């Protein structure tokens, strides 16, 4: 350690001065941050408005359905996290399940603990314990799949469909019985981001393929769409969706704000994904396409079995970067479409009568930033894990 420090930080007098100055500045910043978190920060505003920040005006009588959806989703995450062949064949995986969960989902668990501490009620504690237990149970079920004869006979695709069915049914049921106009807070940010990513990815793939198509009309349409959308600011597109749409469609039949937001984010992200995927397709040598033709494969099979999988693998970092950008850009929906998403709620609670003029913007926006940082960091870490698993950058 001493040798490493001497080589990298104290190689010369100038390096030593810079290293000491940076270390002192970093120490001061950390000290101020710790003071703010544990001593000077007034977190009552977060405790009182925690429900508004997380789920907005979601009906109190339907909160149990939201909790059940979280538990079902946690079970699915645990099962998917242990679905790799290496984990299934590892005899010590069951013993190391706890450590594996802690290393992979530790940040989410820590955030959950903070939220439980702020909530300070039994329901939050039970939901937190249930979430961790659901992830652990899902992981155990995933690891035991090949060891239980009945489960081992289920084909992989059918198994994945069965796993996703439970959270999907719960989420759809929650959507059907609740009023989307009452959704808000961090819940609406996550919902818009997940739905937009799920819709934008396949659209982006087909736009990228269309731009490289040999059919002139298809190539022209896809290229025009991509360049037009990429040339327009996202905020302007959201404003058009919120204001200009009602000039063409009567307000009685106009879609809601959430539908408009998802549509705009999907169209915008798909255009950027198309260019990212097109770059991945250009990185594949023509020799592989020619080899596929020599084997008698059709153009569709060459694309979906040879070139597209490799292209998507090569541009995983850029794709995840775009998804993270989309996740953070959901805050624009609050300003453009008057939606009570997390950032707008965080700004609004500082203007309540009990907290007006008390300078609590740092506490409010600090909590908002924490939620977005955890979400973005987890996505980035999962991206790196997927890159290592697929050998991105390794020849």
For the chain, what is the largest distance between any 2 Cα atoms, rounded to a whole number of angstroms? 74
Which segments of the chain belong to CATH 1.10.3720.10? 182-395
Residue 90 or residue 394, greater confidence: 394
Question: How far apart are alpha carbons 222 and 231 in whole angstroms?
Answer: 14
**pLDDT score of 65:** 87
Q: Is the pLDDT of residue 45 over 60?
A: yes
Give me the mean pLDDT over the 76-97 stretch: 59
Helix ranges (H only) for 178-233 are: 185-211, 216-230
Q: Between the CA atoms of 60, 62, 63 and 65, what dihedral angle is there, to the nearest 10 degrees? A: 180
Q: Is the pLDDT of residue 195 over 80?
A: yes
**Contact status, residue 269 vs residue 205, Cβ threshold 8 Å:** no
Distances from the Cα of 294 to the Cα of 305, 308, 341, angstroms: 15, 18, 54
What does the block give as tokens for 366? 């600090």
Q: What share of the chain is helix, strand, coil (3-state, %, to 5)?
A: 80, 0, 20
Residue with tokens 């940082």: 373
Confidence of residue 97 (pLDDT cuts 50, 70, 90): low
Helix ranges (H only) for 40-84 are: 44-48, 50-55, 63-81
**pLDDT score of 16:** 86
Confidence of residue 329 (pLDDT cuts 50, 70, 90): very high
**Contact status, residue 58 vs residue 184, Cβ threshold 8 Å:** yes
Q: Is the pLDDT of residue 394 over 80?
A: no
Type and span of the H or E element at 347: helix 342-348
Q: Is the pLDDT of residue 82 over 70?
A: no
Residue 394 or residue 358, greater confidence: 358
Average the pLDDT over each of 31-45, 66-80, 164-178 and give the range with the smallest value: 164-178
Give one DSSP letter per residue of 141-185, joined into a string.
HHHTGGGSHHHHTS-HHHHHHHHHHHHHHHHHHHHHHS-GGGB-H
CATH homologous superfamily for the domain 182-395:
MetI-like (1.10.3720.10)
Question: How far apart are alpha carbons 42 and 324 in whole angstroms?
Answer: 30
Residue with tokens 């060459």: 302
**78 exposure class (CB count in 10 Å sphere: 0-12, 13-18, 19+):** buried
**Per-residue model confidence as pLDDT tens digits over 288-327:** 888 898 888 888 899 888 999 999 999 999 999 999 999 9
Q: Is the pLDDT of residue 46 over 90?
A: yes
What does the block give as tokens for 127? 């939901």
What does the block give as tokens for 103? 């290393």
Instruction: Flag whether the pTM goes above 0.85.
Output: yes
What does the block give as tokens for 32? 């101020």
Give me the mean pLDDT over the 125-145 stretch: 82
Average per-residue pLDDT for the chain: 86
Confidence of residue 84 (pLDDT cuts 50, 70, 90): low
**pLDDT score of 392:** 66
What does the block give as tokens for 86? 């290496």
Average the pLDDT over each of 27-36, 131-140, 229-238 and give the range with the smallest value: 131-140
**pLDDT score of 100:** 62
Percentage of residues of the chain with pLDDT beyond 70: 91
């Amino acid at each position: 350690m001493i040798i490493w420090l001497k080589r990298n930080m104290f190689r010369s007098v100038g390096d030593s001065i810079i290293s000491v100055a940076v270390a002192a500045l970093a120490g001061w910043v950390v000290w101020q941050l710790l003071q703010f978190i544990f001593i000077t920060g007034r977190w009552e505003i977060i405790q009182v408005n925690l429900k508004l920040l997380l789920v907005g005006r979601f009906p109190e009588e339907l909160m149990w359905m939201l909790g059940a959806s979280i538990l079902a989703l946690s079970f699915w995450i645990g099962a998917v996290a242990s679905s790799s062949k290496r984990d299934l064949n590892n005899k010590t995986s069951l013993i190391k399940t706890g450590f594996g969960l802690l290393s992979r989902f530790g940040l989410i668990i820590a955030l959950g603990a903070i939220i439980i501490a702020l909530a300070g009620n039994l329901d939050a504690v039970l939901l937190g314990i249930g979430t961790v237990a659901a992830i652990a149970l899902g992981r155990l079920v995933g690891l035991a799949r090949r060891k239980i004869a009945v489960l081992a006979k289920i084909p992989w695709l059918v198994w994945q469909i069965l796993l996703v069915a439970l959270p999907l049914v719960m989420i759809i049921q929650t959507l059907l019985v609740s009023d989307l106009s009452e959704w808000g807070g961090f819940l609406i940010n996550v919902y818009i981001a997940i739905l937009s990513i799920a819709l934008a990815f396949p659209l982006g793939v087909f736009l990228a393929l269309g731009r490289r198509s040999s059919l002139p009309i298809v190539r022209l349409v896809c290229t025009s769409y991509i360049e037009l959308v990429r040339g327009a600011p996202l905020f302007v597109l959201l404003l058009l969706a919120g204001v200009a749409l009602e000039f063409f469609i009567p307000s009685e039949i106009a879609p809601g704000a959430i539908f408009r937001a998802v549509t705009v984010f999907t169209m915008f992200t798909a255009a950027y994904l198309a260019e990212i995927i097109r770059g991945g397709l250009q990185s594949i040598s023509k020799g592989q396409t020619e080899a596929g033709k020599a084997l008698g494969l059709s153009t569709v099979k060459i694309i979906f079995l040879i070139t597209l999988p490799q292209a998507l693998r090569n541009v995983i970092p850029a794709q995840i970067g775009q998804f993270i950008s989309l996740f953070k850009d959901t805050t624009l929906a609050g300003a453009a479409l008057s939606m009570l998403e997390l950032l707008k709620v965080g700004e609004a609670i500082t203007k309540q009568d009990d907290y007006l003029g008390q300078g609590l913007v740092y506490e409010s926006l600090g909590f908002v930033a924490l939620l977005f940082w955890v979400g973005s960091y987890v996505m980035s870490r999962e991206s790196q894990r997927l890159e290592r698993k697929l050998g991105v950058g390794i020849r």
